[in-house]
A and B are shown apart, each in its own frame.
Chain A
Amino acid sequence: MTRVRRWLPGLLLVMPSLVAIGVFVYGMLGWNFRLAMTDRHDEVSEGFFVGLDNFFSLWSQKPWVISVHHAIVFTAVFVLGALALGWLLAFLMEKGIRGEGTFRAVYLFPMAVSFVATGVVWRWLMNSARDERAVGLNRLFDGLGLDALQWGWFRDQDWGMAAMAIPAIWQISGYVMALFLAGFRGVPEELREAARVDGCAEWQVYRHVVLPLLRPVTLSALIILGHISLKVFDLIVAVSGKQIVTYVPAISMWVAVFDSHDPAKGAAIASYIVLAVSVFVVPYLVWSLRREKRS
């Protein structure tokens, strides 16, 4: 009884937040999923249970298939690009360099700005006009005599989504750098020194000592990048609007809700996005909880 009196006030204090999360996260995810299993294809009809029909019928719709394809290309380029660039920047800096504070501040500042604002300038930089009418990067290439590098950027039929990943990499890789830099600095100097004493060359020290110890950081970065990528929305709206060349699931959902007024379809797309993100995040949460318990 006294033990209950000891912890009960704590539970009461967090109760409002727990209830709010219960309703707004779990309740609404469930509500959304239930809506996705009805035939409520306009805003007035009641909606009858149709099972997973909406989930299957999406795959016979071309824009949806295209949007999934785009999301895969975007995710691959963005995740690998940001990981590689972030790692490289951290690697170049990890032993300390003059002006480190300035470098870090510049690489990281895009994180403080919204995708909508940076989208404005990236749309200009990645303008697809060429030669005399070119602005942005195509104009820059033209001026530098690198005409061959001019291309359609995000309007390119095949690799447009790879271009779309460029602003995202620019925005996030500073963050990945910060994660890796903390990882590099977390490797005890004694371990490196011991490897050197044992006759390892500097690259072998990295290969056998530092890189294996960076695995947890790499995993964290991978999860964070992956889940940002799967729900990417603002950036694409800001750079290209609702054009089919840059359709991704989050855009299709927006279009389903606001333009086609089809709540059931919107809910089905939203459920797919949740599912894709959960595949990344749930194992990660379980893993980090276990790791925390161990330490």
Chain B
Amino acid sequence: MTAATTPAAPAAPVPPVRDARDGGRARTRAGWARGVRLALLLAFLVVFLIPIYVLLVTSFKPLTEADPSRAWALPEVWTFEPWRVAWEKLAPGIVNSVLLAVPGALISAVLGSMNGYVLARWRFPGADVLFTLLLFGMFIPYQGVMIPLVQLLVKLNEITEAVTGAQGVFYGAIPGLLLAHVVYGIPICTLIFRNYYVTIPEELIEAARVDGAGMLRTYRSVVLPVSGPAFAVVVIWQFTSMWNDFLFAVFLTGPQSWPTTVMLNNIAGAQTVPYSQQMAAALLASIPTMVVYVLLGRFFMRGLMAGALKG
């Protein structure tokens, strides 16, 4: 390395050749270190998987095996009964969650894409300051807006009822929850798209501009066609956070519109529900996001990293 940076230097001194025994010992030590690292990583792997083992094993146990002494044992008789009961109890919540998370993720992605495009490539004076103000919205604890948000949604209910006669459209219903998730998702979605779009070469955009293409035209013909990966990241991110959210749901929805998490919490909080059903319900509630994670983990990771504000 030093030789490469100082080409003028005369022939570099030949590095002393390590004697063979010495090299062998160094190799053994490196091998040992690798072995120890692998062993530690495996130990942590086992610890990380304990909760999953418990969830799976317990969810297949019949009620007759509920005795504490068999808590960690495999079921003697495997049964799907807890899963069947959990599905019956959880199904309405899962339907609500799908109605929330699928359209919510798509709307979020469209908004984020437009905002990110402008903030990265069609900038206006003061864009940096506004962007920072936007980002603060990503970190606020939602408790700080919850009471006014409830009041606003109640007001929207009254207005829609006066205009259309429909009752309870926003507060206590899916559209209200969807509105909240989309609005509070704007900062992170904008951030992900902005960081993606700054990697599009400026010349491409300029070329389109010179050809006389306006903002929307440039977006449609230059930016949108290469946006696939960013859309995947945002859709997955928003789907996961909407599916897993509990705070907004518990404040903004009612029995008819409870999503999966609230229903799961009600099932698990009831003293009378056996562990096997609780754990089957917890697994059932996690299947969609787990499937997304297993199939599209790469994109999920990128969303996570954007949360760390790393471009």
Which residues of A does B touch, CB under 8 Å?
7-11, 13-14, 16-18, 20-21, 24-29, 31-32, 35, 89, 92-93, 97-98, 103, 105-125, 129, 132-136, 139-140, 143, 170, 174-175, 178-179, 182, 190, 193-194, 197, 220-221, 224, 227, 230-231, 233-234, 237-238, 241, 250, 253-254, 257, 263, 266-267, 269-271, 273-274, 277, 281-282, 285-286, 288-289, 292
Let me know if B114 and A125 touch, CB within 8 A: no
Let me know if B41 and A25 touch, CB within 8 A: no
Let me know if A121 and B41 touch, CB within 8 A: no
Query: 15 other contacts beyond A106-B45, A111-B300, with CB at 8 A cut-off?
Result: A7-B122, A10-B122, A21-B133, A25-B140, A29-B145, A108-B301, A112-B240, A113-B286, A117-B264, A178-B305, A224-B308, A266-B147, A274-B143, A281-B139, A286-B132
Let me know if A282 and B261 touch, CB within 8 A: no
Interface residue B2 (Cβ < 8 Å from any Cβ of A): yes
Let me know if A119 and B141 touch, CB within 8 A: no
Let me know if B247 and A233 touch, CB within 8 A: yes
Interface residue B1 (Cβ < 8 Å from any Cβ of A): yes
* Interface segment out of the listed B77-85, B164-172, B183-191: B183-191
Contact of B141 among A13, A124, A175, A273 (CB under 8 A): A273
Q: How many whole Å from B18's CB to the nearest CB in chain A? A: 14
Let me know if A230 and B141 touch, CB within 8 A: yes
Using CB atoms, name the residue of chain B closest to A167. Answer: B51
Q: How many whole Å from A104's CB to the nearest CB in chain B? A: 9
Q: How many whole Å from A288's CB to the nearest CB in chain B? A: 5
Let me know if A103 and B215 touch, CB within 8 A: no
Contact of B51 among A8, A11, A18, A122 (CB under 8 A): A122
B interface: dominant SS: helix
Let me know if B143 and A124 touch, CB within 8 A: no
Which residues of B does A touch, CB under 8 Å?
1-2, 34, 37-38, 40-41, 44-45, 48-51, 54-55, 58, 68-69, 71-72, 111, 114-115, 117-119, 122-125, 128, 130, 132-137, 139-149, 152, 180, 183-184, 186-187, 190, 214-216, 240, 243-247, 250-251, 261, 264-265, 268-269, 275, 278-279, 281-283, 285-286, 289-290, 292-293, 297, 300-301, 304-305, 307-311
Interface centre among B133, B134, B144 (most CB of A within 10 A): B144
Q: How many whole Å from A213's CB to the nearest CB in chain B? A: 15
Contact of A190 among B1, B130, B297 (CB under 8 A): B1
Given contacts A25-B145, A114-B246, A277-B141, contact A103 B279 (CB under 8 A): no
Contact of B48 among A120, A170, A230, A266 (CB under 8 A): A170
Interface centre among B71, B143, B282 (most CB of A within 10 A): B143
Let me know if B49 and A289 touch, CB within 8 A: no
Given contacts A7-B124, A7-B125, contact A31 B139 (CB under 8 A): no
Question: Which residues in B have their C-beta under 8 angstroms from that of A282?
Answer: 136
Question: Which residues in A have their C-beta under 8 angstroms from that of B184?
Answer: 24-25
Using CB atoms, name the residue of chain A closest to B136. Answer: A285
Contact of B1 among A113, A193, A269 (CB under 8 A): A193
Q: Nearest 3 CB-CB pairs, A to B?
A: A114-B244, A274-B144, A112-B293
